[in-house]
Amino acid sequence: MVAGGFEPLNHHLSLILVVATHSLPSPMLHVHPKYQEVAAACESFPEEAATLFQVYLDLTLEKEWAWVKAKEIGGVAKVVLEGKKGLEEEKQFIVPTSTSEPWSIERLEELFDEFQRAIGDKPSSVMLAITSSDSTVVYYRVYSGIVPPNP
């Protein structure tokens, strides 16, 4: 096991770790001026609202991504964020989750398969945005399949 209760990754998935912080207590979600931008997703998945909104704020305010929007991925009952750092950059998918949410290799593979069904394309990678109670957001980039090392 590694930090956050994650299973060690095998040859099918690779990861990169980046750390960032941002905070907002969950009772204050609805009064934040940016809440309306993801209100529908937060209301559809109330158990994930605080995590989703925390990651959304980190991407839009702290990291200043060009655009970010919420998208429901039905087969795994998750709301993910899709967005671009810059308008000319490739679209990325971010999966907000908390340190208490269990993940396994099988669940990650289901997530990649569900992306195939939901958007008609299987991304080569997604970012898990893992939030903790101290407002830290840790980003793990998870790849589908074997990824050769950078030279």
Confirm whether pTM is higher than 0.85.
no
Distance of CA 149 to the CA centre of its chain: 23
The Cα angle at residue 104 between residues 99 and 106, in degrees rounded to 5? 150
Question: What average pLDDT does the structure give for the chain?
Answer: 80
Question: What residue ranges define each of the domains in the chain, with the CATH number in brackets?
Answer: 26-143 (3.40.1350.10)
Euclidean distance between CA atoms 54 and 28, whole angstroms: 11
pLDDT in tens, 87-105: 899 999 999 999 999 999 9
pLDDT in tens, 73-84: 877 778 999 999
Dihedral angle over CA of 18, 70, 100, 1, nearest 10: -40
Q: In this predicted structure, what is the pLDDT of residue 118?
A: 82
pLDDT in tens, 30-68: 777 788 888 888 888 888 888 999 999 999 999 999 999
